[in-house]
Chains A and B, each alone.
Chain A
Amino acid sequence: MKKIVLLFFVTALLTSCELLDVKPYQSIDADIAILTTADLESAINGCYDAFQSSGYYGRDFIIINDLTADNLKWTGTTTDFKQFQENTLTSNNTIVEGIWTSIYVAINRINIVLGKIDGVIGLSETDKNSYKGELLFLRGLAYFDLVKLFGGVPLRLQPAVNPSDVHLGRSSIEEVYMQIISDLRNAELWLGNFSTPVKAHKFAAKAMLSRVYLYRFSFSNQTSDLDSAIYYSTSVISQFQLDQFANLFPANRSTESIFEVDFNLQDFNRLAQYMGPISLGGRKEVSPIDNFEDIFQTEDVRKAVTIKTASDGKYCGKYLDISGGSDNVYVLRLAEMYLIRAEASNLLNLGASVVLPDIEMLRTRAGITNPLTESTQSQLALVIEEERRRELAFEGHRWPDIVRTNRAIVLKTSIISTSQYLFPIPLSEMLTNNLIGSQNTGY
């Protein structure tokens, strides 16, 4: 019997050693996560996935760019949205924090995968560059989305590996733009040609560059930036075709789409749900401002597509899948390239004959027949601003459009100082990042 007792203890001892050696089932050790091309592609999908987040293209980033400006108003229960509408943001606003966090989650994933590419077995130099180009395009986009809302931000290009290197100071706006342009130029060089608008490609990088140069001009005042904007938009325009406006929404791989974030029933966004009327099952957190439809001429086909009416009010017609959330979300589409070229040309004061044809392309497509007659540079600037609003309403453009032209202070009574142009750095970042430095003015 004593032997049996002993045997019990010995077996138990052996069992227990095995017992402690458990491996996770839902996750794998980071060291062995990215070894093959298939692993790498999964990890890159994980980077695109970060752009679907509800703090980013999945909801808030799109909504607040129209809500902070003059396209949307708050009609729901989430009081944090109210601060955007009233331009009274505080650093503890959870939506501001969510946007900041979501974008940096994307950047961190990109940085980690970038660091793993050279270790992947059996990849040719070309393949490596093509993957790097894809990631650099996404990183350029992410930093651009940050810099236009927050100004200079911590420019993290290497992932943190231990808790001591999580602190990082803010770079200047100029430095951030330099990095964005460098990332996008490399992406342009290394990426392949267009195959689908839901993945990065050479022309998506060019399109981003045209936008970035145009935006940078607003504080660099270098006409070379405008030349670059025209150069890149022109090279993209030749590659894509305008679609019928009614075909553009809900977004799903239109011929006009340069880059869009894919959503489906499993990976859904909450745009339609937040913008949709209660009578159709939406939350109606935000609605178009009163009489928003008046910005369109009667015959403008964009009016009926952009604004729809339900029993409990008007709502945005660009995102319609309230239950499924499967509408794709545009990041870059061809119409914007025309508008960028027109705006850059006008800023170079090239005259109505150069500027107007690009605008007329979009007006004609919208079914408008009476031609524009404006001719001076300032008249044309206003034409471009209004055309952008009609064309790109609820696609996340309006706020940076009226900020970079310094028109926000004129258009919105709730804006009394240009310090309201930048969002506050979220409180959680201010409290935990020892090197963050100063908060944006006014917060």
Chain B
Amino acid sequence: MKKKLCFVIVALIVGLSVGAQDINVSGTVVSKTDGMPLPGVAVVIKGTLTGTVTDVNGKYTINVPGNAVLVFSFMSMETQEIEIKSRKVINVILKDVAFDLGEVIVVGYTSESSRLVSSSLSSVNVENLQSMPTKTIDGILQGQSPGLLINQNSGTPGGGMSVRIRGNSSINAGNQPLFVIDGIPVTTGNFGSVSMGGQGINALSDINPNDIESITVLKDASATAIYGARGANGVILITTKRGAKNKSMLNFSMSYGLQMLPEERKLQLLNAEQWYEYKGLSGTPTHNTDWLDEIFRVAPTSNVELSASGGNENTRYFVSGTYYKQDGIIIGTSYERYSGRLNLDHKLNDRLSIGSSVLLTYAQNDRVEGDQTLYGVLPNAISIPAIYPVYNEDGTYNEDHFYANPIAVANEAANQSFSYRTMGNIFAEYKIMSNVTFSTKWSTDIYNLREHSYDPVTTRQGARYNGLGIEANTSVTNVVANNLLNYKKTILQIHNFDVLLGQSFEKYQRRSSYIEAIDFPNPNLQYIASAGQIRAAETRATDRGLSSYFSQIRYNYSYKYIVGLTARFDGSSKFGKNNRYGFFPALSIAWRISEEPFMKKYKSISELKLKGGIGLAGNDGIGDFASIALFGGGANYDDQSGIYPIQLENPDLRWETTRQISAGFEIGILKNAISISADLYHNLTRDLLFYRPLPPSSGYSSIAENVGMIENKGFEIDISTINIDRVWQWKTGFNFSLNRNKVLELHGGEEITVGRGNNLIREGKPLGVFYGLNYLGVDPSTGNLIYQDVNGDGLINNEDYVITGNPNPKFMGGMLNTFIYGKFTFSFFLQYVYGNDIYNGTRFFTEVSPTEDNQLVSVLDRWSMPGDETGIPRIGDGQRWTSRFIEDGSFLRIKHITIHYQLGGFSKFGINQAKVYFSVQNAFTFTKYSGMDPDINYAGESTVIMGTDFFTYPSARTYTLGISFGF
């Protein structure tokens, strides 16, 4: 089949170049810009279909009548008509077209001029990102692009984030977009084996954002269908920097920052005296410990980077090395990364070029136990009353309280993860003919994660086991190969074709081992060789394969009418045997109205484009082998191995499919001083992958099935303006997006609730609304909470549950303002999220709880005697899922403020460019939310647990000072 196609392409080309005429004219066509020969220029005799194209050296030969006129045309060049006048040699210089097609952006397996894009995507301005202290990709993307919602799962250094493009479209199959770096899908997610209670490791953290040249966010199916079964959640395309010819550069930059918990966001808890009053204890407390002050600190962060790029005619390179270190604002947490990159391009001859990109990273992440354990540093610091001292008089840790001493856990226990990442690709590009290119790219992404955890006897957990040690190793290898055949052709100067045929496969292997041992002879002997007893030991293996064929055809008529067609076949080992292959097509069209003659009179409108598209994209984020009835091992008994049935079979299991329709426009006014792009979209996800709960009496908890539908619709707008452009310049970039999510259909209408905030999934409602009792107030006579008796049966129970809040924001976005005056640049970036609710699960335990947990100062206003009018109930009433813990999570955050200053006078040292900057990250947050940070979720790795705070690590405010030099 491939052979046939090659033949067709060849035949097409040959067919166009036939002709026998009177005189033989030859010559070379070169570009005016760089004087280089132009291959692939169409040379056509005017008024006929007869012609030829220039070869790789820009040369052509043609037989023509002596009085003919030759038309030289080439994409994005001005067409020239030349009378032959019997000349034998005609050399032509072609100029770039006068109209600007905008910057070239990466749109999938190819790139395209931004003006000719017909699908819905946005490219992120990476220039501003360098001065941000956050050095992870997802971290810098926050608020930067409309339709892109990024939440921190917690403020843990190196921790994961949840990224959503145009809302949640899935319940069980995952909602994270696909990340593609230099054309290769990368391994993302948390591969940690040591459970840290919600503080996940993030494989994406290994990539240094300063190596990034551009980021494109593909948002609708007409853009993402080329990624087939993995495109439904959108795709984030990242291109790293490469060298430029004849332009050697050396850059050095370093920055140093200090991070702290914003004082105004610190929880106000009872002091020792207030605790005595609260518990009705007599006497005076002997200690008054501020546990939060004990665990929070001012933590440094620093980044040092050296990069060099350059090249000559044939070889180009980009090399960089970075050291990045971030200490967490909670003691015992830090993230440290060393990374190096080498990107190389070489032209062997006019037809063949090769290259490679290599990233090497070593990172160490020190974490502390998180919010979901009894040994969490932050939850325990919040929960232990102030009356307990940190240390006993003999200097040992005080362990009198029910919860483990958090200082002991943070200082004594080791919880380290080390990641070793090698991501590399090699590629070759071969020009089979002037307009037919074959390229092949092979890559490996090798991710090794080693975890070391040790709890010595000085910690509560370690004391129980006489030392508890864990060693875990996970190795994930993903081999990807892309083979592409590209054909570009311009016919009669007006029909521009760009055809891509491709094939790709991926082979994924994951291996892991885990050993847990107890009973260590000495706290210095932390490795399992010294352990007395092995408590658990296991190794695991998973393989996965993906095989794909895809094609993309782009056509435009005089850069005016644009059509894009894509299709992809994906075969995945994850799917059931009846549905091994999926087909994902898409169509998009665009009309550049500004190119129409009738628009010429509207001089102020420099660009106007309407566009629309429809397509299907898939989500394959389902478990491996979920479709087969299986027996698993490890069900051992009495030291003998045992096997057990794991799941019911479902041979029909398939990917989820999202049908995406979008329409939008782009407009540029006053030479693009104002440019606006807006999109409307409607996404319908069918065949929702769902672990349908089965009756427990069947012996199975659930079965993986494709049932249900979810809808997301929304609107996005991106406006950038140059407000003032004189001696000083003022630019604004603003984005706004809103998304409305609705669950349309569930299996048999069955509802599901998940998580500590009781997120509900119900037909007709947005995904994950909060569900609980509706709290009406506190009864002044009893101090009891009053709830709404919804069914009026006189009882308050789970039949009275109502929807109490919605974690999905009503709208969100960001705004960047930049002011430039001479050598000064000042910018500030605002991020806003509006209309989302948060379930403050921390208050569940810290507001009028009868237990030994420390309480918020709000309990000082609690009901204490009949007649008290207050919103805080009596002690002991309230630990239920109620609207009392639902808070408005809207926030406006001054995400960062930066001042740059361009230094001069260093040229004698060979320094062309020198810059100093100062920035404040997370400068201030305006919010009504009473917890430490409105931008967190304790279970961020979950698909549907949303907007729930449960003793979660807040984000820091960071002051950074940096310098950079260019040589």
Report the minimum CB–CB distance from A283 to chain B (whole Å).
8
Interface residue ranges of B459-484 to A (CB < 8 Å): 460-461, 463-466, 481, 483
In the bound complex, CA of A161 to CA of B645 (Å): 11
Interface status of B697 (Cβ within 8 A of chain A)? yes
**B638 engages A46 (CB within 8 Å):** no
B571 touches A20 (CB 8 A): yes
Q: Is the CB of A166 within 8 A of B505?
A: no
- A27–B697 contact, CB under 8 A? no
- Chain B residues, CB < 8 A from A15: 505
- Check if A48 sits within 8 Å of B638, measured CB to CB: yes
Give the distance in Å from the alpha carbon of A5 to the alpha carbon of B645 in the complex: 47
Stretch at the interface among B45-53, B65-73, B130-138, B688-696: B688-696
B-contacting residues, A42-59, CB 8 Å: 42-50, 52
Partner of A5, one of B485, B650, B750, B797: B485
List, in ascending order, chain A residues with CB within 8 A of B879's CB: 79
Bound: A3/B93 CA distance, A: 36
Closest Cβ of chain A to B246, distance in Å, is: 30
Q: Could you tell me if A27 and B642 are in contact, using CB atoms closer than 8 angstroms? A: no
CB pair A29 B700 closer than 8 Å: no
Min Cβ gap A102→B in Å is 9
- B772 CB, nearest partner CB in chain A, Å: 12
Chain A 178-202 residues near chain B, CB threshold 8 A: 198-199
Residue of A nearest to B632 (CB): A27
Q: A49-B635, A162-B648 are in contact. Are A29 and B629 (CB under 8 A)?
A: yes
By a CB distance below 8 angstroms, the chain B residues around A46 are: 635, 637, 642-644
Nearest chain A residue, comparing its CB with the CB of B851: A77
Which of A105-113, A243-251, A345-353 is the contact stretch? A105-113
The distance from the CB of A47 to the nearest CB of chain B, in whole angstroms, is: 8
A386 CB to closest chain B CB (Å) equals 34
Is there an interface contact between A429 and B696, defined as CB atoms closer than 8 Å?
A: yes
Evaluate contact between B637 and A45: CB separation under 8 angstroms.
Answer: yes
Please determine whether A163 and B703 come into contact, CB atoms closer than 8 angstroms.
Answer: yes
Cα(A49)–Cα(B636), bound, Å: 6
B638:A19 contact, CB within 8 angstroms: no
Contacting pair A43 B507 (CB below 8 A): no
- From A218-226, A263-271, A288-296, A400-408, give the one contacting chain B: A263-271
State A76–B460 Cα separation when bound (angstroms).
16
Q: How far is B481's CA from A13's CA once the two chains are assembled, in angstroms?
A: 11
Q: Output the least CB separation between A158 and chain B (Å).
A: 11
CB distance from A161 to the nearest CB of B (A): 7
Given known contacts A101-B696, A108-B700, is B641 in contact with A322 (CB within 8 Å)? no
A79 CA / B587 CA spacing, docked (Å): 55
B639 and chain A: residue at smallest CB distance: A264
Interface size on B, residues (CB 8 A): 79
Please determine whether B645 and A163 come into contact, CB atoms closer than 8 angstroms: no
Q: A109 to B533, alpha carbons, bound, how many Å?
A: 31
Beyond A5-B6, A6-B3, A426-B696, is A22–B642 a contact (Cβ under 8 Å)?
Answer: no
**Within A269-323, which residues are at the interface with B (CB < 8 Å)?**
278, 280-284, 322-323
**Residue B624 at the A interface, CB < 8 A?**
yes
Tell me the total A-B contact number using a CB cutoff of 8 A: 239
User: Which of B631, B646, B750 has the most chain A CB atoms closer than 10 A to its own CB?
Assistant: B631
**Cβ of B963 < 8 Å from any Cβ of A?**
no
Q: Does B625 contact A (CB under 8 A)?
A: yes
- A6 contact set on B, CB distance < 8 A: 2-3, 6
Bound-state Cα–Cα, A22 to B541, Å: 12
Which residues of A lie under 8 Å from residue B507 when comparing CB positions?
19
Q: Enumerate B428-457 residues with CB–CB distance to A below 8 Å.
A: 430, 432, 438, 440
**Are A12 and B645 in touch, CB under 8 angstroms?**
no
Residues of B555-605 at the interface with A, using a CB-CB cut-off of 8 Å, are 571-573, 580
Measured between beta carbons, the chain B residues less than 8 angstroms from A23 are: 543
Given contacts A12-B505, A16-B505, A45-B638, contact A25 B630 (CB under 8 A): no
| B42 vs chain A, min Cβ distance (A) | 23
From A17, A112, A166, A428, contact of B645 by CB (8 A):
A112
Interface residues of B in 782-837 (CB under 8 A from A): 797-798
Q: Among A16, A107, A198, A268, which residue has its beta carbon within 8 angstroms of that of B547? A: A16
| Minimum CB distance partner of A261 in chain B | B637
| Binary contact track A428-443/B, C-beta < 8 Å → 1, others 0 | 1101110010000000
Q: Are A26 and B695 neighbours in the complex by a CB distance under 8 Å? A: no
Give chain A interface residues in 21-72, CB to chain B under 8 Å: 21-31, 33-34, 39, 41-50, 52
B904 within 8 A of partner (CB): no
B701 within 8 A of A: yes
A410 at the interface (CB under 8 A from B): no
A145 on interface, CB distance cutoff 8 Å: no
Residues of B within 8 A of A262 (CB): 637-638
Residues from chain B with Cβ under 8 Å of A162 in the complex: 648-649
The answer to whether the Cβ of B206 comes within 8 Å of any Cβ in the partner chain is no
Report yes or no: B518 in contact with A324, Cβ–Cβ below 8 A.
Answer: yes
> B644 touching A43 by the CB < 8 A rule?
yes
B312 / chain A contacts, CB cutoff of 8 Å: none
A residues near B6, Cβ cutoff 8 Å:
2, 5-6
Does B245 sit at the interface, judged by CB under 8 A? no
B126 CB–A CB distance under 8 Å? no
- Contacts of A264 on B, CB cut-off 8 Å? 638-639
B13 to chain A, nearest CB (A): 13
B517 (CB) vs chain A CBs: closest residue? A265
Q: Which B residues between 317 and 341 are near A, CB-CB below 8 angstroms?
A: none
Report yes or no: B485 in contact with A429, Cβ–Cβ below 8 A: no
Query: Please, what's the 1-or-0 string for B1-44, where 1 marks a CB less than 8 Å from any CB in chain A?
Result: 01100100000000000000000000000000000000000000
Contact status of A432 and B464, CB under 8 A, knowing A20-B580, A108-B645: no
Say yes or no: A198-B638 contact (C-beta < 8 A), given A22-B545, A90-B797, A266-B536. Answer: yes
Assembled-state Cα–Cα distance A248/B1 (Å): 76
Please tell me if the beta carbons of A265 and B535 are within 8 angstroms of each other in the complex: yes
Is A1 an interface residue, CB under 8 A from the partner?
A: yes
| Chain A positions within 8 Å of B485 at CB level | 5
Q: A19-B505, A20-B573, A77-B851 are in contact. Are A267 and B645 (CB under 8 A)?
A: no
Contacts of B571 in A (CB 8 A): 16, 20
B633 contacts the other chain (Cβ, under 8 Å)? yes
Report the Cα distance A177→B758, complex, angstroms.
39
Q: How far is the CA of A260 from the CA of B633 in the complex (A)?
A: 23
In the complex the two chains form, is B628's CB within 8 Å of A29's CB? yes
| CB of A172 closer than 8 Å to a CB of B | no
B residues near A49, Cβ cutoff 8 Å: 635-637, 642, 644
Query: A10 to chain B: which residues have CB within 8 Å?
Result: 2
Residue among B649, B695, B797 with the most chain A CB within 10 A? B695
Asked whether B698 is an interface residue with its Cβ less than 8 Å from the other chain, the reply is yes
Contact in complex: A108, B542 (CB < 8 Å): no
B293 → chain A, closest Cβ, in Å? 25
Nearest residue, chain A, Cβ from B640: A45
Let me know if A387 is at the binding interface, CB within 8 A.
Answer: no
Instruction: Tell me which residues across on chain B come within 8 A of A33, comparing CB atoms.
Output: 630-631, 643, 645
CB atoms of B546 and A19 under 8 A apart = yes
Chain A residues contacting B430 (CB-CB under 8 Å) are 1, 5
**B-chain residues with CB within 8 Å of residue A17 when the two chains form the complex:** 547
Q: Is the CB of A9 within 8 A of B505?
A: no
Residues of A within 8 A of B697 (CB): 100, 104, 153-154, 156, 166, 168, 429, 433
Additional A-B contact list (6), CB under 8 Å, known A45-B637, A49-B637, A108-B645: A22-B545, A42-B642, A153-B697, A167-B695, A198-B638, A323-B518
The 7 closest A-B pairs by CB, nearest first: A108-B699, A281-B464, A45-B642, A16-B547, A19-B545, A433-B695, A46-B644
Give 23 pairs: A residue, B residue, CB < 8 Å, sorted on A: A6-B6, A19-B573, A20-B571, A21-B545, A23-B543, A25-B541, A33-B630, A42-B640, A42-B642, A43-B631, A45-B635, A49-B644, A154-B695, A159-B645, A160-B648, A161-B648, A163-B694, A166-B697, A199-B638, A265-B533, A266-B535, A278-B402, A429-B697
B residues sitting closer than 8 Å to A (CB atoms) are 2-3, 6, 374, 402, 430, 432, 438, 440, 460-461, 463-466, 481, 483, 485, 503, 505-507, 518, 533-536, 540-547, 571-573, 580, 624-625, 628-633, 635-646, 648-650, 692-701, 703, 705, 750, 797-798, 851, 879
